[in-house]
């Protein structure tokens, strides 16, 4: 089974949920602490924000590649190839994990109802917390880490792929703040929500994957 048994999973879930709830509560209550942290990080990241600069073009490209629409595309591509190589249950799990996380993010956005930073671009509409870009790609990255990268035989290539994925998540979070689309706490909250949801998704996979092997739709599948 691609996702191994892990007795520490529920502990990580509790930690993830608690941290997410703490950050969410501070955002919802407009905490001075979270406001101060956001201001400091925004100042640090936004120092080089000059219209038309190479950095701005790079941040815009990274933001586009990690947008919700692209996250859906990446997930569909991953699921397509997993299905084609007879990893049908992991393919379905990838779809459910990313789409389920997106739904959770949507619900939280409409509960917290945090406005965007004042200088955000017109195309970045809707509520700010948590970042849909970061949440979606965090889960895409999790799918890559758990069911795609382990299939690479070369250890050095696996490590390189893992580093590239982690680097992109960091750059994506930075890009959303750089472009004034989000507060830093929006990206932090997105990662915490994604992390907590991932623990649940992994547990569900462990519980249901063996039973799903009897389904005609996913007959003759690796999992």
DSSP letters for 39-61: HHHHHHHGGG--TT-HHHHHHHH
Does 62 fall in a domain?
yes
> What pLDDT does 199 receive?
98
Does 2 fall in a domain?
no
Q: At what angle do helices 54-65 and 155-178 cross, to 10 degrees?
A: 110
Does 1 fall in a domain?
no
> What pLDDT does 105 receive?
97
> What pLDDT does 65 receive?
97
- In the three-class reduction of DSSP (H, G, I as helix; E, B as strand; rest coil), residue 106 is classed as helix
Hey, what long-range contacts does 53-58 have (CB within 8 A, 24 or more apart)?
55/178, 56/178, 56/179
- Cβ atoms of 95 and 143 closer than 8 Å: no
Helical (H) or strand (E) element with 183: none
- In the three-class reduction of DSSP (H, G, I as helix; E, B as strand; rest coil), residue 155 is classed as helix
Q: What is the pLDDT along the chain (223 residues), one digit of tens a residue?
A: 888 889 899 999 999 999 999 999 999 999 999 999 999 999 988 765 656 688 889 999 999 999 999 999 999 999 999 999 999 999 999 999 999 999 999 999 999 999 999 877 767 778 999 999 999 999 999 999 999 999 999 999 999 999 999 999 999 999 999 999 999 999 999 999 999 999 999 999 999 999 998 888 888 888 8
Does 207 fall in a domain?
yes
In the chain, the number of structural domains is 1
Does 170 fall in a domain?
yes
Q: Is the model's pTM score more than 0.75? A: yes
Does 148 fall in a domain?
yes
Domain residues for the domain of 213 are 9-218
- Cβ atoms of 65 and 189 closer than 8 Å: no
């Amino acid at each position: 089974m691609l996702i191994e048994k892990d007795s520490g999973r529920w502990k990580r879930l509790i930690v993830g949920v608690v941290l997410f709830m703490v950050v969410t509560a501070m955002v919802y209550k407009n905490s001075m602490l979270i406001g101060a942290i956001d201001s400091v990080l925004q100042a640090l990241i936004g120092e080089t924000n000059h219209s038309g600069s190479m950095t701005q073009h790079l941040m815009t490209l990274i933001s586009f590649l990690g947008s919700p629409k692209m996250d859906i595309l990446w997930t569909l591509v991953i699921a397509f190839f997993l299905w084609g190589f007879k990893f049908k249950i992991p393919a379905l799990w990838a779809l459910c994990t990313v789409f389920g996380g997106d739904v959770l993010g949507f619900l939280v956005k409409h509960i917290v109802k945090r406005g965007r930073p004042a200088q955000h671009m017109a195309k970045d509409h809707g509520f700010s917390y948590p970042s849909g870009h970061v949440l979606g790609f965090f889960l895409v990255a999790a799918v890559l880490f758990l069911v795609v990268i382990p299939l690479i035989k070369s250890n050095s290539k696996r490590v390189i792929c893992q580093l590239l994925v982690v680097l992109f998540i960091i750059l994506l979070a930075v890009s959303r703040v750089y472009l004034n689309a989000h507060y830093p706490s929006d990206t932090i909250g997105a990662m915490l929500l994604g992390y907590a949801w991932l623990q649940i998704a992994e547990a569900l996979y462990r519980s249901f994957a063996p039973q799903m092997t009897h389904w005609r739709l996913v007959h003759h599948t690796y999992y």
